[in-house]
Structure 1
Amino acid sequence: MDVRSLIARIRDGEVPQAADLQGFAAGLADGSVSDAQAGAFAMAVCLKGLSDEGRVALTTGMRDSGDTLEWDLPGPVVDKHSTGGVGDCVSLILAPLLAACDVYVPMISGRGLGHTGGTLDKLEAIPGVNVTPDAAAFRRIVGDVGCAIVGAGGNIAPADARLYAVRDVTATVASVDLITASILSKKLSAGLGAMVLDVKVGSGAFMKTQDEARVLARALVDTANGAGCPTAALLSDMNQPLAPSLGNATEVALCMEVLAGAPAAPRLTELSLALGERLLTLAGQSDPRPRLEAALSSGAALERFARMIHALGGPPDMAEDWRTHLPKAPVCRPVPAPADGRVAAIDGEALGLAVVGLGGGRARESDRIDPAVGLTAVAGLGHCVATGDPLAWVHARDAATAERAAAQVSAAITLGTAADTTPLILDRIDP
């Protein structure tokens, strides 16, 4: 493969050969492609795009640049991916819920990015949990428990790690083709038999409009199916936090209530069930909704979650005594409503950044996360308040950061006479 010729063809709007794109991915992984060539390739793709076939070829080439998993299990192997939002802790509910329905979930997750939280950071709020077990332990936990939520290993899609680092410094992150290949190369390396995607739309998401979210969802679904993995997507509303708690331990606590059957977060519960229903249908189960609801109400999903936590090094009694184990912030104060009214709009990104300012996320890669801080009881769209009623509760390390976060939360929530609410599930993208 001539890397320069490949870059030139993409630059000139020509359709590259699949073998050349796969060879380029291999060159990223083994170092034969230079940083300059990687940057030029990323810019050419960003400006001219790839064909559908080219996107599949780049994705599978990046997937195959490192380790890929194969499974010998008595049920389907499935997973879910979210594009990220505020108060999005679906993974903590969905993975054990699916495991309780006789499928296996090797969920490779990530850390917080910008204003959005990370599943791994949330899990690490539980004392003792190790989200980077070795490959043998990962396989054992998936086989024994039915699910394991972990970080990517060192040799998962190394071509993506290399290209992403180049994209980050060359203004080429915002390419649907490259975003698609980056997401799917890591997910598909887990040897999945089916996958569902949750593409977020709104003020708390990276995608602010339905049109741009639909373009990304269509690219992800078509590429995953082209790579041999049956995949569908839901577009979900993120114009308000998915759950009324934001942070790490605060979100885990909410998930424990949901898994225990409490009506603590209706939107979070409904989206988890909807994603599970679509995924189990893709995996070959008929009419799976009643089974999912039963697994949640019976405590079967809670039992799977507790077993997974213990297998990852966490406490053995998480199901019964989770309140004892989760850290609590020393300062807890309300955010009073400045006037009577109804919650008319919420700036989800601003709420996420308030959590980052408390120490619940990272402003820089080297920052350490405080697992105890965050927000709880965040008022949703349409909620009526009187002057002085709490719009949310701030959990902070000290009074000064609590005061600063309270001001940010107050500024992020707009009161009015009516709320412009949208459905939770905005669209469905099928193969």
Structure 2
Amino acid sequence: MSHPRDTLAALRRGERPKPAALVAFAEGLASGEVSDAQAGAFAMGVCHTPLGAQGRAALTRAMRDGGDVLQWDLPGPVLDKHSTGGVGDCVSLVLAPALAACGAYVPMISGRGLGHTGGTLDKLSAIPGLRVEMQADELQSIVSRVGCAIVGATGDIAPADRRLYAVRDVTGTVESLDLIVASILSKKLAEAPEALVLDVKTGSGAFMPDVEAAHALARALVETGQANGVMTSALLTDMSQPAATSAGNALEVIAAMEALTEPATRRSGRLVSLTKALGGEALALGGLAADAMEGAAKIAEALTSGAAAEVFGRMVRAQGGPGDFPERWRDRLPAAPVVAELRADQPGVVGRIDTRALGEIVVDLGGGRRREDDRIDPTVGISHLAQLGAVVTEGQALARVHAADGDAAAEAAERVARAIEMESSAVTPPPLVQETIR
């Protein structure tokens, strides 16, 4: 059996460790045999000596197998989706129940926000009483009965990732492609899905704004998922503006509920379009649609018919939230005490949005975290944001800022104004889905 020192020595020499050595190292991370110092050295070594496709797949598999792996006996396919993170990205809240309404089972293990990108669990936690922390047996029970659940990872899911993730932050190795892939997929594959679709963001609000880097990540995720026996594909999607017209936890729940319950004319175009694209791909991968186009049509029908909203309501109830949430969500969600409207000081066309800056504004309002132990105000954020290419007149609203007090609202509004650049001529936004990688 390979010793951690041998693996680290190989990396130092610029040699790729053999898959068996990576498996042993991951097992040591999970058991505690590998020290924090060795974990940090490993992360730095992988940055200098990438593992390659075979090594990446072996590390991911070993990190998955170092903890609990869910077991299923269900009458339909187990499907899931993962996003690399962005601003105003509440797709999971709409997609999970829509997939369930189409016959899939969705055990969506998600995370909390850190930095400028929001976390799905923080958004759900804006719903009073709703629990996102539970053990595997309760998760499996809810998914079996309801069709979907959105929860956090237990300490028994991919424990090696939890240790490696912590040292990556303090050692400046967060952006390692191999470690990103292993971190994402070790948890997702522990759900034992039959198919997985990845939403890899690019643009000003993305974790990886550079399109070439995002493409490389998408390709590596697909290859690694498939190498571990899961039907996997990735959509390279645009994050040059928020996925919804809101950013902030309760505000994004509102956007999701509008997509689930309001007439089609009031739905956020990008949010619903992205939900259909990702859902269509997932249904096709899972054998519930002939292709992604047919799958997208089924997702659209689940939204239009109210079936997805009904599933969402049952999920909220099963996870401890209000029993009447789909009918009375406007009354159930908390609201900020101050709302300030930002208006255009001249006519023009919305030409560019610094989406990362918007995410930072939400964090500074109290809607996100700089550190893992920061408390979140679910009410604050930005809503009714003008879209790229929108033609606006002088005095027309560009956004609303939701804040805890007037001073915070005024400062945030000034920063939002600086994040929106106006043009004098027509602007064509980038395509929402730029590429599908299978």
TM-score by length of 2: 0.96
Deviations 1:181-240 (A, max 9, x none): 011001111111110000000001111121110000000000010011110000000001
Single out whichever of 244-253 and 358-367 deviates more from structure 2: 358-367
Secondary structure of 1:239's match?
coil
Give the Cα separation in 1 of the matches to 2:136 and 2:57. 27
Partners of 1:133 and 1:312 within 8 A in 2: no
Q: Which moved more, 1:149-158 or 1:281-290?
A: 281-290
2:17 corresponds to which residue? Answer: 16
Partner-residue secondary structure (3-state), 2:108? strand
- SS of equivalent to 2:243: coil
Question: How far apart in 1 are the matches of 2:119 and 2:110?
Answer: 8
Alignment-derived partner of residue 282 in structure 2: 279
Distance in 2 of aligned mates of 1:40 and 1:69:
31
CA RMSD between the two structures = 1.1
Tell me the equivalent position of 1:424: 432
For 1:154 and 1:37, locate their aligned partners in 2 and report how far apart those are by CA, in whole Å.
21
Corresponding residue for residue 196 of structure 1: 197
Name the CA distance, whole Å, in 1 between partners of 2:359 and 2:279.
26
Deviations 1:111-140 (A, max 9, x none): 112111111011010100010123222111
1:346 aligns with 2:346: no
What's 1:327 paired with? 334
- Hey, what's the Cα distance between the residues in 2 that align with 1:129 and 1:236? 30
Match of 1:268 in 2: 271
The offset of 1:87, in angstroms, is 0.7
Quick one: distance in 2 between partners of 1:47 and 1:389? 51
Once the two structures are TM-superposed, the CA of residue 402 in structure 1 deviates from its matched residue by 0.5
Matches within 5 A, 1:94-109: 94-109=95-110
Give 3-state SS (helix, strand or coil) of 1:246's partner: coil
Say which is worse superposed, 284-293 or 318-327, in terms of deviation: 284-293
What is the distance in 2 between the residues matched to 1:178 and 1:199? 16
Most deviating of 202-211 and 383-392:
383-392
Residue in 1 aligned with 2:113?
Answer: 112
Matched to 1:177, the amino acid is: D
Kindly provide the CA deviation profile for residues 270-297 of structure 1, in whole angstroms up to 9, marking residues without a partner as x: 1100101111111112232332221110
- Normalising by structure 1, we get a TM-score of 0.98
Task: Report the 3-state secondary structure (helix = DSSP H, G, I; strand = E; otherwise coil) of the residue aligned with 1:192.
Answer: coil
Separation in 1, partners of 2:297, 2:60 = 35
Separation of aligned partners in 2, 1:193 and 1:212 = 27
In 2, Cα distance between the equivalents of 1:100 and 1:27? 41
Q: Which amino acid aligns with 1:266?
A: G
Partner of 2:224: 223
* Alignment correspondent of 2:139: 138
Change (3 A) 1:135 1:2: closer
SS at match of 2:71: coil
- State the alpha-carbon separation in 2 of the partners of residues 277 and 222 from structure 1: 20
Counterpart for residue 381 of structure 2: 374
Instruction: Please list, as runs of the form range in 1=range in 2, the aligned pairs for 1:70-219 lying within 5 A after superposition.
Output: 70-219=71-220
Aligned-partner residue type, residue 189 of structure 1:
A
Letter in structure 2 aligned against 1:372: T
- Is this contact kept in 2: 1:374–1:395, CA < 8 A? yes
What SS does the aligned partner of 1:288 have?
helix
Letter in 1 for 2:399: A
For 1:289 and 1:342, the matched residues in 2 are separated by 31
Q: Pick one of 361, 370, 378 that aligns with 1:363.
A: 370
Report matched runs for 1:223-262 at 5 Å.
Answer: 223-262=224-263
Q: Which runs of 5+ in 1 are unaligned?
A: none
Q: Spell out, residue by residue over 1:242-261, the C-alpha distance to the aligned partner (whole angstroms, 9 max, x if none).
A: 11011011111111111014
Amino acid at match of 2:423: G
Deviations 1:262-319 (A, max 9, x none): 3320111011001011111111122323322211100000000010001100000111
Matched, 1:308 2:302: no
Query: After TM superposition, what 4+ stretches of structure 1 lie above 4 angstroms from structure 2?
Result: none
Q: Partners of 2:42 and 2:123 in 1: how far apart?
A: 35
Pair 1:388-2:395 in alignment: yes
Distance 1:11 1:261 in 2: 57
- CA shift at 1:93, angstroms? 0.3
Is the contact between residue 114 and residue 371 of structure 2 (CA under 8 Å) also seen in structure 1? no
User: Whole-Å Cα distance in 2 between the matches of residues 289 and 117 of structure 1?
Assistant: 25
Deviation at 1:420, TM superposition (A): 4.7
**Unaligned stretches of 5+ residues in structure 2:** none
Q: Is the 8 A contact 1:26 1:159 kept in 2?
A: yes
Letter in 1 for 2:150: I
